[in-house]
Amino acid sequence: MSSLTPPTGAEAWMEAALAEARAAGAAGDVPIGAVVTGPDGEVLGVGRNIREVHGDPTGHAEVVALRDAAATLRERGDDDGWRLEGCTLTVTLEPCAMCAGAIVLARVPRVVFGAWDAKAGAAGSVFDVLREPRLNHWVEVYSGVREDECASLLHEFFAAHRRGAEG
């Protein structure tokens, strides 16, 4: 688990991720949002869950945000746009194993997240893919940024989903 102090800007980045999460929920998808910021704090990519909307099992907020950031860097002429070195990924929920693997492969050095995922988290709760010593890249993890707000979005979404299924 992480006890590090989040980097400067983490609260604002989480606000942007929360806006993406709210948009995902409004579209009927699980309300998870993510942003990728560059070394200077500029937002390079955004993402929200689109699994249900697009019928895409890889449509997790983190993967969408990583793709968007890489596209931004390529548009700027960075031939190595897929390497997100120096960037920070901020996400409302602890990344799963798929997303953690994508983060490692994209060479993202920092992840900031809000709520822990006790069922599928891969940043310290169930697994710790981001800090696996046998991998070629390790990630600094900052947890619990606006945790209650991030968790509430998910709890409210699933409570409404259960009520709808019962009715």
- pLDDT of 90: 98
Q: In Å, what is the CA distance from 128 to each residue of 11, 97, 99, 112, 122? A: 23, 9, 12, 14, 5
Query: Domain 10-160 class?
Result: alpha beta
- pLDDT of 100: 98
Quote the pTM value: 0.93
Ramachandran angles phi, psi of 132, nearest 5°: -70, 115
Residue listed under structure tokens 């709210």: 22
Asked whether residue 87 is marked as a ligand-binding residue, the answer is no
- pLDDT of 4: 74
Asked whether residue 54 is marked as a ligand-binding residue, the answer is no
- pLDDT of 82: 87
**How is the chain split into domains, by residue range?**
10-160
Q: What is the DSSP letter of 30?
A: -
Asked whether residue 60 is marked as a ligand-binding residue, the answer is yes
Q: Which tokens sit at 68? A: 């968007």
Q: What is the set of active-site residues?
A: 62
- List the chain pLDDT tens, one digit each, 167 residues: 555 788 888 999 999 999 999 999 999 999 999 999 999 999 999 999 999 999 999 999 999 999 999 999 999 987 677 899 999 999 999 999 999 999 999 999 999 999 999 999 999 999 999 999 999 999 999 999 999 999 999 999 999 888 876 65
- pLDDT of 164: 76
Contact 95, 103 (CB under 8 A): yes
